[in-house]
């Protein structure tokens, strides 16, 4: 086994973190209102912003 990092992890690292962040945001949305709104906005907003950045970068 070589010391090179796996290309599988390189390929799926960013989508995995974005998915986890989105899942945390959705879970916080289920927990309640008020103070829970900030993690929801962060979790969902960052995922949406990254998606828009990728979409606009292609054009």
Q: What is the mean pLDDT of residues 31-44?
A: 91
Q: What is the mean pLDDT of residues 22-51?
A: 92
For the cut 60, the answer to whether the pLDDT of residue 1 exceeds it is no
Query: Binning pLDDT at 50, 70 and 90, where does residue 3 land?
Result: low
Read off the pTM: 0.75
Residue 26 neighbours by CB under 8 Å, 6+ apart: 40, 43, 44
The answer to whether 21 and 46 have CB atoms below 8 angstroms apart is yes
Q: Look over the chain and give the mean of its residue pLDDT values, rounded to a whole number.
A: 88
Render pLDDT for 16-29 as a digit per residue (tens, 0 to 9): 999 999 999 999 99
Overall residue count recorded for the chain in this entry: 59
Torsion 19-13-46-40 (CA) sign? positive
> What is the model's pLDDT at position 32?
87
């Amino acid at each position: 086994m070589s010391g090179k990092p796996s290309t599988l992890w390189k390929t799926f690292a960013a989508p995995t973190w974005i998915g986890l962040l989105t899942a945390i945001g959705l879970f916080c949305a289920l927990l309640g209102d008020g103070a829970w709104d900030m993690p929801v906005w962060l979790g969902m907003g960052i995922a949406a912003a990254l998606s828009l950045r990728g979409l606009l970068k292609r054009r």
